[in-house]
Structure 1
Amino acid sequence: MKFAKVAQNLALWAGSPKTFMGALILIGLWGLSGPIFGYNDTWQLIINTSTTIITFLMVFLIQNTQNRDTDILHLKLDELLRVNKEAQNAMLGLEALDLQQLEALRRHYRALGESEVFDLEGLGDKSKPKQNLNEC
């Protein structure tokens, strides 16, 4: 649990405008120091190594934060499904399905959607052609 709390705090800090401005200032200072060091290999290696390490660590931080956000979103949706009397409670266990079962369910709901005509402008015109929901 400590990692999750540290990761959340680091993600908030890393995504702040102050951190972004700090990174811009550091990049600017590095760029301005180029003539002092003659744009040599060590000067280039400093920025390459620094950005590689930061990027490597940020991947894990972002993944942890994304996993947490996804879990929270799923729990909220599960609660909405649970309290809605018309919802199919079987949807609460979709995580346990394999890819083929999920695809079959997707085809089922796509077929349900294809029988409906979207009226996004509120005009009530049912003569519009059906949208092909298979195309993204």
Structure 2
Amino acid sequence: MKTLLNIIWLVLSGFWLFLGYMLAAVIMFVFIITIPWGIAAARIGVYALWPFGKTVVPTPTAGVGSFLGNVIWVVLAGWWIALEHLLSGIALCITIIGIPFGIANFKMIPVALMPLGKQIVDMP
């Protein structure tokens, strides 16, 4: 079932979200000092490409550094990726079939805003 959901997700919004995250990752990789944000953007981008069957959990050792890094991330790229999730979720909620995918988009907004200090793990 999760494979079918992932395929539908990929067609409806996953590919475009993935491209948005990869654009942010490439921009972050250009500037040497922002490479950690580029790695986080690429990691979350792969999750946005194929999200069903995975979940996001907080890293237990994340501290103040992750918080400060997330503040910088929101200013640099997090707000427009979160906006991409919001607009995609609203568009998907227009149809009955798209409502679960729209809700999944809304659930990804916190991760888009604060990717540092999070891990993506397989669901049991």
What TM-score do the two structures reach when normalised by structure 1? 0.27
**Which structure is higher in RCO with an 8 Å CA cutoff and minimum separation 6?**
2
Relative to its length, the structure with more strand (as a share) is 2
